[in-house]
């Protein structure tokens, strides 16, 4: 469970990233965060695994106060939270399986890392993860020879190999064409429903958010202005999240 209790984030230059956010996300939820550019979506997402420190309030993830974590405890905590980015962040000149196996490195003794001597269990985990996202047949192909959608699936498989309880996804389909974007969103749904992993995802495509997520969080200028089921998101809700921009687009 993720709990934001009166959380604010003020960047060193004075910009308010989050403004008194109160939010509870239960285990196994699929939540999409929507809002205009600069609204605070990434700040919210990245606070969860402490890529960004919060300035005020309390953020608790699975009963751990995130702000109190240091050193080894922080590294251990981060292993339980997978992260997927818009730009995939793969090592392009190596194979798909090597990319996925890299998720196992923090669990390995140093000598194994040095020799690249992955254990059989790690290889099985990596292959199972690739199977879950439907690209097992690409295991021994170089990552840079795959399409964007396939590369995002490798990134997702790498995250699964980490055996996370939560996956954070920062604009995971922004670089993909509409058909591929839907396929990757379907992967997220399957992972969420079949494996029970909580998914918290930032997305600019409102239609995709509503179609695939169960719950929508609308953020505007660092404040949550909507938090409810996807099926209840209507034009009035979108206006409250996007303001004039939504009205102008609707009338264009």
Which positions lie near ligand ATP, rule CB under 6 A? 11, 13, 15, 17, 35, 37-43
Q: What is the dihedral of CA 51, 89, 199, 190, to 10 degrees?
A: -170
Q: Nearest approach, Cβ of 189 to ligand ATP (angstroms)?
A: 22
Q: Residue 206 CB: number of other CB atoms within 10 A?
A: 20
Closer residue to ligand ATP in complex, CB, 16/108 = 16
- Residue (47 or 133) nearer to ligand ATP, CB: 47
Place of tokens 């140093």: 110
> Least separation, in Å, of the C-beta of 231 and ligand ATP?
23
**Shortest reach from residue 17's CB to ligand ATP, in Å:** 4
Nearer to ligand ATP, 37 or 251 (CB): 37
State which residue, 44 or 100, has the beta carbon closest to ligand ATP. Answer: 44
Helix 120-132 and helix 178-195, axial crossing angle in degrees, nearest 10? 120
CB of 14 to ligand ATP, least distance (A): 8
Strand spans (E) along the chain: 2-10, 16-25, 30-34, 56-61, 64-65, 81-85, 166-170, 198-202, 215-220, 223-229
For residues 219 and 31, give the distance between their C-alpha atoms in angstroms, rounded to a whole number: 13
């Amino acid at each position: 469970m993720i709990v934001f209790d009166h959380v604010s984030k003020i960047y060193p230059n004075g910009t308010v990233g989050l403004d008194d956010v109160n939010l509870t996300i239960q285990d196994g939820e699929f939540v999409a965060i929507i809002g205009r550019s600069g609204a605070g979506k990434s700040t919210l997402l990245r606070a969860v695994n402490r890529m960004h420190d919060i300035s005020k309030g309390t953020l608790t993830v699975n009963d751990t106060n995130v702000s109190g974590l240091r050193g080894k405890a922080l590294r251990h905590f981060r292993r339980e939270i997978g992260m997927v980015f818009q730009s995939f962040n793969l090592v392009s000149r190596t194979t798909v399986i090597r990319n996925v196996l890299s998720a196992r490195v923090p669990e390995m003794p140093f000598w194994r890392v040095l020799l690249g001597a992955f254990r059989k269990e790690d290889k099985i985990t990596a292959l199972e993860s690739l199977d879950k996202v439907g690209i097992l047949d690409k295991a021994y192909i170089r990552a840079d020879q795959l399409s964007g959608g396939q590369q995002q699936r490798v990134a997702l498989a790498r995250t699964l190999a980490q055996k996370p309880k939560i996956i954070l996804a920062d604009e995971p389909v922004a670089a993909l064409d509409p058909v591929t974007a839907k396929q990757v969103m379907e992967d997220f749904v399957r992972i969420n429903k079949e494996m029970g992993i909580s998914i918290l995802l930032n997305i600019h495509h409102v239609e995709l958010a509503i179609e695939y997520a169960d719950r929508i969080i609308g953020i505007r200028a660092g404040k949550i202005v909507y938090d409810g089921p996807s099926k209840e998101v209507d034009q009035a809700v979108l206006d409250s999240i996007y303001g004039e921009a939504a009205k102008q687009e609707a009338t264009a």
